[in-house]
Amino acid sequence: MRPEDARRLVELAMQKVAENYSNNPLNSDGFYRETIKKRKEYLSISEALVDIYKGSYTKEFDEDKVKIYKGRKSSNVKRADTLAVKMQGGPYVSLLFDVVKNPYVLIASTDLYNYDFTVTDIKTVDNKLMYEVGFKPRVIDPDYPMYIGKYFIDVKSLGVSSVEFSIDLSDPDKAASMFVKKKPMGVKITPTSTSYIVTYKEMNGRYFFNYSRSEMNFKCNWKKKLFNSNYSVMAELAITDWSMKPAEKFTAKESLKKTSVFEEEVTAFMDDNFWGEHNTIEPDQSIQTAIKKYGRRLQKEK
């Protein structure tokens, strides 16, 4: 398949969003986790069951919202560190990575010709044939970093079932400007790798946001220190249940914001009784395994 045909596939997938995704808002439950590590040691581990308002895919200003239902964070972490690394946005940002609903986060329709597209494979995923469409920058944006990755597009419906991407780090300083909001004087922060995944679940002929994961590794170089410090931040959000009742939209006051620091917000929602005997966070356990372990605790009455 020619590159222009591969680009056309992505363009058609964008045009068919109204056919393949929900035109109506809905509520869902999700399980969110974020971790911050210095080398292999955890500095912060936080997780929560969250309530989600998922806006319509066809209404531009119907923004997703999220609020914490029950949460917790680990107390068995090393706090004595020169640099206090904090992750801003929490599950709000995880929802932004729904790049079908928010294409501007990755590649907007107006930016398609800034990338080269190639159909790299046709594979079976969940008993459906999928085009694997790889993409990489064909131009350099002087102001913003570009992306490298792949779309998985349903051969029959042209619905996007998943997207995997990373930031082009050929200009690490430009990439760092995306992430670093505030840092001490004398520290240079350089991203070394990034990874983003978003998946969708097909139900009754429509695709629904199902999971997102983001990870960034970076090094901090202090002017007066001999060695660099390496950090890793990771966040993932998995949907545990969908409600087909008319959606309830959350107020601005109860919703998390893009400036919220989840580790700080979650303190007000801690409830040891809710987690029962599973009262220890196991950070190296996959989020899917954690969801199975917690079982009915994550299934609220509708």
- For the stretch 202-217, pLDDT in tens is 999 999 999 999 999 9
Of 200, 205, 266, give the one whose Cα is nearest residue 238.
Answer: 200
In contact, 255 and 67? CB cutoff 8 Å: yes
Per residue in 4-63, pLDDT (tens digit) is: 699 999 999 999 999 999 999 999 999 999 999 988 888 888 999 999 999 999 998 999
In a domain, 7, yes or no: yes
Separation CA 77–CA 82 (nearest Å): 15
Q: Which residues pair with 136 in a beta bridge?
A: 116
Over residues 154-158, mean pLDDT: 96
Tell me the range of 59-68, 135-144, 186-195, 268-277 where mean pLDDT is highest. 59-68
Give the ranges where 70-198 is alpha helix by DSSP (H). 91-96, 172-179
Ranges 143-147, 194-198, 236-240: which has the least confidence: 143-147
Which stretch of 141-145, 180-184, 212-216 has the lowest confidence by average pLDDT?
Answer: 180-184
Across the range 276-297, mean pLDDT stands at: 70
* In the predicted structure, residue 238 carries a pLDDT above the cut 80: yes
Q: Among residues of the chain, what percentage have pLDDT more than 90?
A: 58
Q: What is the mean pLDDT of residues 137-165?
A: 94
Work out the widest C-alpha separation in the chain, in whole angstroms. Answer: 59
Is there a domain that residue 300 lies in? no
Residues contacting residue 149 through CB under 8 Å, at least 6 positions apart: 106, 134, 135, 163, 164, 165, 166, 196
pLDDT for 143: 81
290 strand-pairing partners: none
Place of tokens 């109506």: 24
pLDDT, position 192? 94
Average pLDDT for the chain = 88
Residue 208 located in a structural domain: yes
* Residue 142 clears pLDDT 90, i.e. is over it: no
In a domain, 277, yes or no: no
Q: Is the pLDDT of residue 290 over 90?
A: no
The verdict on residue 149 lying in a domain is: yes
Tell me how far CA of residue 300 lies from CA of 83, 110, 201, 239, 242, in angstroms: 39, 41, 20, 13, 11
Tell whether the model's pLDDT for residue 79 goes beyond 80.
no
Asked if residue 31 belongs to a domain, the reply is yes
Residues 6 or more apart whose CB falls under 8 angstroms from that of 95 comprise 52, 54, 64, 66, 209, 212, 237
**Long-range interactions of 115-121: CB distance < 8 A, separation 24+:** 115/7, 115/146, 115/147, 116/3, 117/3, 117/6, 117/7, 117/9, 117/10, 118/1, 118/3, 118/6, 119/1, 119/5, 119/6, 119/9, 120/150
In DSSP notation, 98-131 reads -TTT-GGGS--GGGGGGEEEEEEEEEEETTEEEE
Query: In this predicted structure, what is the pLDDT of residue 176?
Result: 82
Range of the domain at 175: 3-272
Higher pLDDT, 82 or 296: 296
144 assigned to some structural domain: yes
Q: Which residue has the higher pLDDT, 301 or 178?
A: 178
How sure is the predictor about 302, in pLDDT bands with cuts at 50, 70 and 90? very low
| CA distance to 233, 279, 297, per residue, from 42 (Å) | 10, 18, 26
Pairing of strands 115-125, 65-73: unpaired
**How many domains does the chain contain in total?**
1
13-17, 113-117, 168-172, 223-227: least confident range:
223-227
Of 210, 296, 290, 294, which Cα lies nearest the Cα of 45?
290
Whole-angstrom distance, CA of residue 269 vs CA of residue 258: 19
Total-model pTM: 0.90
pLDDT at 301: 47
Per the domain annotation, does 250 fall within a domain? Answer: yes
